[in-house]
Structure 1
Amino acid sequence: MHQLTYGDIKAATDRIAGRVRHVTLSPVDPGAMRTAHRDPLDERPEQPCEVWLALEFMQHTGSFKARGAQNFIQAHREAGTLPDAGVTIASGGNAGLACAWAAQQQDVRATVFLPAAAPAVKVAKLRGYGAEVRLGGSEYAEALAACEEFAAATGALASHAYDHPLIAAGAGTLLEEIHQQIPALDTVVVAVGGGGLFAGMATAAQHHGIRTVAVEPENCRALNAAIEAGRLVDVPVDSIAADSLGARRTSQMALAAAQRDGVHSVLVPDGEIVRARQALWDHRKVAVEHGAATALAALTSPDQHGPNRDLLTRPATAGRSYRPGNGEKVAVVLCGSNTDPADLVHRATEH
C-alpha cells in the first residue's frame, strides 16, 4: 500500500494549479458556534473562537472530487501512462462527474459505468461532460465488475472514487489552499465517506500542525469502526447522507491517517445533519448535499455524552460533537452541492 505523504500533496498542488477553482472561505458570525468549557489551566485571555466555512461546493462539478480526478489524469499524462482507451470509472455520483469533467478538460476519453436504474439526470450530466455512459446490472457492484472487465479488455485506465493515492493527494490540495489563507489555522473539520478527502486533508494538516476532526453519520461509520478495530472492517450503511458518505469500508490510507496524532473522530445523528443543512439554507441561502452538512453538524449538534474533546488521538469511541476551545481557529469543509434543493425551499416556505 502506498503511504500517503505531504510530498504527494505538494506535488498534486503544483500539478493542478490553475486547473481547479481556488476555495473561497466565508467567516461564521462571531458567537454563532458553541465553544468548549474553559480549561481552568488556560491562562490566556478569553477569546471567541473563529470559524470559517470552506465553500468547496463551488468547485467544478459541484464537489471536491474534481481535484483528485484532475490530479489523477494529469499525473498519468506526465508519466506517459495515459492509454488511448482513456479512463474509466464506475460511479454515478460526484466521483463519476469529476472523472468525466477532468477527462474532458484534458481531451481524454472517459467511459462511466452505472447501474441500469441510474437517474436520468445523472446520465445526462455525465454525457454533458462528454463521457460515454454504459448502463447495466441492478446495483453498483455489477457496474463496478463491468468497469473492471472493460479496463482489462481495452487497456483503459481505471480510476477510483477515493481509494487511490493520486485521488487522495488531489483532495488534500484543499487543505493547502485553506492554510494559505489562514496560516494560524488550528483545526479543520471534514466529513468522511470512503476516506479520500479525509486522508488527503489529514496528511497535509498534520504537516502544518493542524488538528483534523473526522465527522461521519452515526450509521455510516466506516472510518470510526476501523479506528476502533485497528483494521479495515465492513459496516452497515443507513443514513440520509449515504448517497455521498455511504462507503461500507474505508481505505487503508484513511485509517493510517486517522492513527496519527491530531485526529478526532465524531459521529452525528441524521437529525442533526438535516438541521445543519437547513440552517445553511435559512441563514445563507446555501444548498449543500447532506454529506457536506455532516461536517457542520459536528459544531452545531448539542453536547452529548462522549469522550473529552482533548482525546484527540486514536479514540476508542467517537464524540457526538466538537466544541472549539479558547480562541481556536476552525475551518469547516462544505464539500459538495449535488443535491435537490426542493426540500430546503419547501421547508423555508413553511416557516
Structure 2
Amino acid sequence: MQTLSYGDVKAAVERVADHVRPVAIAPAEPVHPRALLGAAGTEAPGGPDGPAAPGHELFLALEFLQHTGSFKARGARNFLRAHREAGTLPAAGVTIASGGNAGLACAWAAGQQGVRATVFLPETAPKVKVGRLRGYGADVRLVGSEYAEALAACEAFAAESGALASHAYDHPLIAAGAGTLLEEIHRRIPGLDTVVVSVGGGGLFAGVATAAREHGVRTVAVEPENCRALDAALAAGAPVDVTVDSVAADSLGARRVSAAALHAARQDDVRTLLVPDAEIVRVRRALWADHRLAVEHAAATALAGLTGGGYRPSPGEKVCVVLCGANTDPTDLV
C-alpha cells in the first residue's frame, strides 16, 4: 500500500499555494430536516424537530467554487507539480481515467504545466463535463459504461504512449492534495470538531482524514447506499469490487476504494455512513431551493449524512460539511 502521511499533506500545501482558490466557508443554520427539506414537499425522517440535536454549529465548505468546479484541482496540481519538480513529466503528457471531475482537474493542471492531457471517461459521463474537458484542450476519449472500463483503456494508452498515468483518487499525491482542503478549513473554523465528506474512491476522504487526525478533528465519511466501496471494504477487511448504481455515480461511482481510504476509515476518529438516493436528491434540490446552491449529487451526499439522521451532532459541536463539486446539469433543479 502506498502510505499517506500528514507530511505529504504539508508538502502539498506548498505546491498548491497561490494556484488554487482558498475555500469559502459559509455559516449555516443547524440541520433540522423539516426546514432544510421543506422545499421537497415532505417531512424528513426524525419528525418535525429533525434528528440533529439543537445547539450545534454548522458550516458549509463551498469547495465547488474551486478551479474546474471541484476539489480535484488540488490533487491534480500537487501530482503534476511534484512530477515537474522531479523531472518526470514525459513529452507524451499525462493521462487519466475519470468520471469527469478528476479529468477536468487533470486537464486544467496540465495546462498550467504546459503538457498534454488525454482523458478517458465512461460514455455515461455528463455532457457538461465532457464539454468542459474539451474546453480545457484535453483529448477526450469515451469508453464503456463504468469508470473501471475507462480506467482499463487509460492504462493501456499509458503503456503504449509513455504518457504519465495519473489517477482519479488512488495515489498519495492526489490524496495529499485533497487533504490541503482540511488545512484551510481548520484555519478558518477555530475549534472545529467534525468534518463531513462524501466518498467515492476515497481520495478526498483519505487526504482530509489524514490531516483531520493531526488536528484532533473527527471525520464522517458518507456514501450512497448503492455506491458503497468503502463500506464493502470495511466489511471484507480489504478493498473489493462493488457494483455501482446511484444518482451520484458520475462522481462517487468507483468500483473499488483505495487502500489509503480503508486505512483511514479504520481509525478511531472516523465514522462511516450510508445514505439512500432519495435523501441525496432531496438535499440537492433543497440546497438550490433554500440557498441557490447548484451542486452535484456527490456534494449533496455529504450533507445527507446529517439530514437523514445518520450523524447527529452534539450540542455545541462545530461541524463543517464539504460541498465538493458543482459540475452538474442544473435543469432538473427548476
Is the pair's TM-score, using the shorter chain for normalization, greater than 0.5?
yes
Q: Do the aligned residues in 2 keep the contact of 1:35 with 1:49 (CA within 8 Å)?
A: no
Counterpart of 1:330 in structure 2 is 319
Identical aligned pairs, as a percentage? 73
Matched positions, count: 318
When residues 162 and 271 of structure 1 are mapped into structure 2, their CA distance, relative to the original with a 3 A threshold, is same
Unaligned stretches of 5+ residues in structure 1: 38-46, 304-320, 346-351
Whole-Å separation in 1 of the counterparts to 2:109 and 2:4: 22
Secondary structure of 1:108 counterpart: coil
**Match for 1:176 among 179, 183, 200?**
183
1:163 and 2:206 aligned: no
Counterpart of 1:11 in structure 2 is 11
Counterpart of 2:202 in structure 1 is 195
1:293-349 deviations in Å (ceiling 9; x for gaps): 010011111x4xxxxxxxxxxxxxxxxx1110020000000000011111111xxxx
**Match for 1:86 among 73, 90, 93?**
93
Q: Do the aligned residues in 1 keep the contact of 2:31 with 2:306 (CA within 8 Å)?
A: no
1:243 and 2:250 aligned: yes
Whole-Å separation in 2 of the counterparts to 1:213 and 1:143: 29
When residues 331 and 118 of structure 1 are mapped into structure 2, their CA distance, relative to the original with a 3 A threshold, is closer
Whole-Å separation in 1 of the counterparts to 2:144 and 2:316: 53
Whole-Å separation in 2 of the counterparts to 1:231 and 1:120: 34
Q: Do the aligned residues in 2 keep the contact of 1:213 with 1:264 (CA within 8 Å)?
A: yes
AA aligned to 1:229 is A
Whole-Å separation in 2 of the counterparts to 1:324 and 1:116: 40
Secondary structure of 2:319 counterpart: strand
Secondary structure of 1:26 counterpart: strand
Counterpart of 1:294 in structure 2 is 301
Secondary structure of 1:143 counterpart: helix
Deviation at 1:146, TM superposition (A): 3.0
Whole-Å separation in 2 of the counterparts to 1:226 and 1:139: 19
Whole-Å separation in 2 of the counterparts to 1:300 and 1:143: 34
Deviation at 1:83, TM superposition (A): 1.0
When residues 3 and 92 of structure 1 are mapped into structure 2, their CA distance, relative to the original with a 3 A threshold, is closer
Whole-Å separation in 2 of the counterparts to 1:334 and 1:56: 6
Counterpart of 1:204 in structure 2 is 211
1:69-119 deviations in Å (ceiling 9; x for gaps): 111000100111111111011225101111001101221111122456766
Q: Do the aligned residues in 2 keep the contact of 1:136 with 1:143 (CA within 8 Å)?
A: yes
1:173-201 deviations in Å (ceiling 9; x for gaps): 00000001013100000000000000000
Q: Do the aligned residues in 2 keep the contact of 1:35 with 1:324 (CA within 8 Å)?
A: no
1:132 and 2:139 aligned: yes
Secondary structure of 2:96 counterpart: strand
Counterpart of 1:218 in structure 2 is 225
Larger Cα-atom Rg = 1
| Aligned-pair Cα RMSD in Å | 1.9
Whole-Å separation in 2 of the counterparts to 1:267 and 1:92: 21
Q: Which one has more relative contact order, counting CA pairs under 8 Å at least 6 apart?
A: 2
**Match for 2:84 among 56, 62, 77?**
77
AA aligned to 1:51 is L
Whole-Å separation in 1 of the counterparts to 2:275 and 2:155: 35
Q: Do the aligned residues in 2 keep the contact of 1:92 with 1:123 (CA within 8 Å)?
A: no
Deviation at 1:153, TM superposition (A): 2.3
1:262 and 2:269 aligned: yes
Deviation at 1:249, TM superposition (A): 1.2
When residues 177 and 237 of structure 1 are mapped into structure 2, their CA distance, relative to the original with a 3 A threshold, is same
1:112-162 deviations in Å (ceiling 9; x for gaps): 224567665443321211112234556544433332222122221001110
Q: Do the aligned residues in 1 keep the contact of 2:61 with 2:185 (CA within 8 Å)?
A: yes
Q: Do the aligned residues in 1 keep the contact of 2:125 with 2:250 (CA within 8 Å)?
A: no
Whole-Å separation in 2 of the counterparts to 1:284 and 1:90: 33
Secondary structure of 2:21 counterpart: coil
The two structures have a TM-score, normalised by structure 2, of 0.90
Secondary structure of 2:328 counterpart: coil
AA aligned to 1:7 is G
Whole-Å separation in 1 of the counterparts to 2:15 and 2:133: 24
Deviation at 1:35, TM superposition (A): 6.2
**Match for 1:281 among 273, 279, 288?**
288
